[in-house]
Amino acid sequence: MNRMMPEEAVSRFLTAISPVTETEMLPLLSAVGRYCAGDYAAVYPQPPFDRSPLDGYALCGSDCIRDAAEDRPLVLPVTECVFAGDGRSPTVSPGTAVRIMTGAPLPAGADTVVRQEDTDGGEGRREKDGSYTPGTVRIFRCPESGANHVYAGEDYQRGAVLVHRGEKLGAARIALLASMGYAEVSVLRKLRVSVFSTGSELTAPGTALSPGKIYDLNSFAAAAYVTECGEEVCVAKRLPDEAEKAAEEIRRALSVSDLVITTGGVSVGAKDIMPKVLELLDAECLFDGIAIKPGMPTKGALCKGKPLLCLSGNPGAAYTHLLLFGQALFSGLHGFYELADQNRSTEFEFPARRAKLMERITKPGGCRRLLRAHYEDGVVRFSSGQYSSGVFSGFSDCNCLIDIPEGVGPLPAGVEVKILMTGHGAQAAENGAVRRTPVFFAVSGYKNSGKTTLLEKLVARLSAEGIKTACIKHDGHDFVPDVPGTDSDRLRRAGAYGTAVFSTKRFMAAKETEQITERELAALFPEADLILLEGFKDSAYPKYVCRYPEEKPDEDRAFSMIMEHLGRRPD
Amino acid 388: pLDDT = 62
Query: Quick one: pLDDT band at residue 567, thresholds 50, 70, 90?
Result: low
| Nearest in space to 482 (alpha carbons), one of 511, 520, 521, 523 | 511
| Nearest in space to 139 (alpha carbons), one of 116, 162, 105, 171 | 116
Amino acid 343: pLDDT = 39
| Nearest in space to 431 (alpha carbons), one of 367, 557, 342, 526 | 526
Rounded CA-CA distance 477/540 in Å is 20
How do residues 451-461 score in pLDDT, each as one tens digit?
A: 888 888 888 88
Rounded CA-CA distance 31/189 in Å is 11
Least confident of 228-242, 264-278, 300-314, 366-380: 264-278
Total residue count of the chain as it appears in this document: 571
Amino acid 103: pLDDT = 93
Rounded CA-CA distance 196/234 in Å is 11
How many contiguous H segments (helices) and E segments (strands) does the chain have?
11, 30
| Percent composition of the chain: helix, strand, coil (DSSP 3-state, to 5) | 25, 30, 50
Whether 215 has a pLDDT exceeding 70, the answer reads yes
Amino acid 429: pLDDT = 35
Amino acid letter for position 561? M
Whether 236 has a pLDDT exceeding 50, the answer reads yes
Angle at which helices 555-566 and 451-464 pack, to 10 degrees? 50
Residue 40, H or E segment: strand 40-41
The β-bridge partners of 444 are 545
The β-bridge partners of 373 are 382, 400
Amino acid 477: pLDDT = 60
Angle at which helices 6-16 and 315-333 pack, to 10 degrees? 40
Mapping DSSP onto H, E and C, the string for 408-447 reads CCCECCCCEEEEEECCCCHHHHHHCCCCCCCEEEEEEECC
Quote the Cα angle for 313-317-319, to 5°. 90
Of residues 190 and 503, the one with the higher pLDDT is: 190
Query: Quick one: pLDDT band at residue 570, thresholds 50, 70, 90?
Result: very low
Least confident of 6-20, 31-45, 202-216, 333-347: 333-347
Whether 357 has a pLDDT exceeding 80, the answer reads yes
Whether 6 has a pLDDT exceeding 70, the answer reads yes
Whether 433 has a pLDDT exceeding 90, the answer reads no
Query: Quick one: pLDDT band at residue 252, thresholds 50, 70, 90?
Result: very high
Rounded CA-CA distance 377/380 in Å is 8
* pLDDT mean across residues, the chain: 84
Amino acid 435: pLDDT = 39
Please compute the mean of the pLDDT values over residues 156-168 and round it to a whole number: 86
Q: Tell me the HSE value of 366 on the side-chain side, using a 13 A CA sphere.
A: 10
Please compute the mean of the pLDDT values over residues 291-296 and round it to a whole number: 92
How do residues 51-78 score in pLDDT, each as one tens digit?
A: 999 999 999 999 988 888 988 999 999 9
Amino acid 338: pLDDT = 55
